[in-house]
């Protein structure tokens, strides 16, 4: 057992990162809290720290659009529990985040105690959602189908899809992941097949459909 918990707080607002840090500092046995202010540095932090116990992820940071960022990060480190922290706390967003692999959801309006309790729940292996929210069921058959397809991706395929969404070419992805271009081509083919599309562009458009922008109108 390591000496204490290691957390990553990913949010582009320094004030809110500070508030989260303060909340987390009130949890016993926390030794390290790393911060990231955009998606790129979040990915770097997650990739460089195999021993993270928890990632707190804001949905609308520079460099990532909503839940697509969650999909991409699950590919970078599929084992680390990720809790989405967002002001978009409507049932659709919460439910979709959980379906795409989040271990919990904390509303940005939550109190310090609620944040601590939520984090403790996830650290003990549970799933946390805001009190009193009925998550309901997915009413959009297209999104429901898309989530099932995204759930079928392996971590490496999810990571490749995230990099495709960033506009990286096969050779750039191969370089980043230290594999051959042929390996990436095989991953891209598998991703397109699982998503039921014919091109990288269609795959990226499909992924953007679970971004945060359309969800904000659902409130």
Write down all domains in the chain, each with its CATH number in brackets.
5-123 (3.40.50.2300), 141-218 (3.40.50.2300)
User: Which residue in this structure is represented by tokens 């529990």?
Assistant: 81
Sign of CA dihedral 211, 213, 217, 219: positive
Residue 74's pLDDT is what? 87
Q: Under a CB-based contact definition with an 8 Å cutoff, are residues 79 and 67 in contact?
A: no
* pLDDT mean values, one per 10 residues, the chain (219 residues): 82 93 90 92 91 92 80 88 91 92 94 94 93 88 92 93 91 94 96 96 88 41
Residue 33's pLDDT is what? 93
d(CA 78, CA 158): 10
d(CA 152, CA 74): 13
Residue 132's pLDDT is what? 87
Residue 211's pLDDT is what? 65
| 45, 48, 51, 54: CA torsion to nearest 10 | 20
Q: Under a CB-based contact definition with an 8 Å cutoff, are residues 105 and 86 in contact?
A: yes
The pTM score is: 0.87
């Amino acid at each position: 057992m390591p000496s204490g918990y290691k957390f990553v707080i990913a949010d582009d607002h320094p004030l809110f990162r500070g508030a989260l840090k303060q909340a987390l500092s009130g949890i016993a046995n926390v030794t390290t809290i790393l911060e990231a202010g955009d998606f790129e540095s979040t990915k770097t932090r997650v990739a460089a720290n195999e021993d993270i116990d928890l990632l707190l992820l804001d949905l609308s940071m520079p460099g990532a659009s909503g839940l697509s960022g969650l999909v991409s990060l699950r590919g970078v480190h599929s084992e680390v529990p990720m809790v989405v922290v967002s002001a978009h706390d409507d049932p659709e967003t919460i439910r979709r985040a959980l379906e795409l692999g989040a271990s919990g959801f904390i509303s940005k309006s939550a109190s310090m105690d609620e944040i601590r309790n939520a984090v403790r729940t996830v650290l003990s292996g549970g799933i946390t959602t805001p009190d009193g929210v009925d998550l309901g069921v997915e009413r959009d058959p297209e999104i429901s189908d898309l989530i099932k397809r995204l759930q079928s991706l392996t971590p490496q395929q999810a990571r490749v899809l995230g990099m495709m969404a960033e506009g990286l070419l096969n050779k750039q992805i191969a370089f980043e992941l230290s594999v051959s271009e042929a390996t990436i081509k095989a991953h891209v083919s598998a991703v397109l097949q699982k998503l039921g599309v014919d091109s990288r562009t269609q795959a990226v458009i499909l992924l953007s459909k679970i971004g945060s922008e359309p969800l904000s109108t659902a409130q």
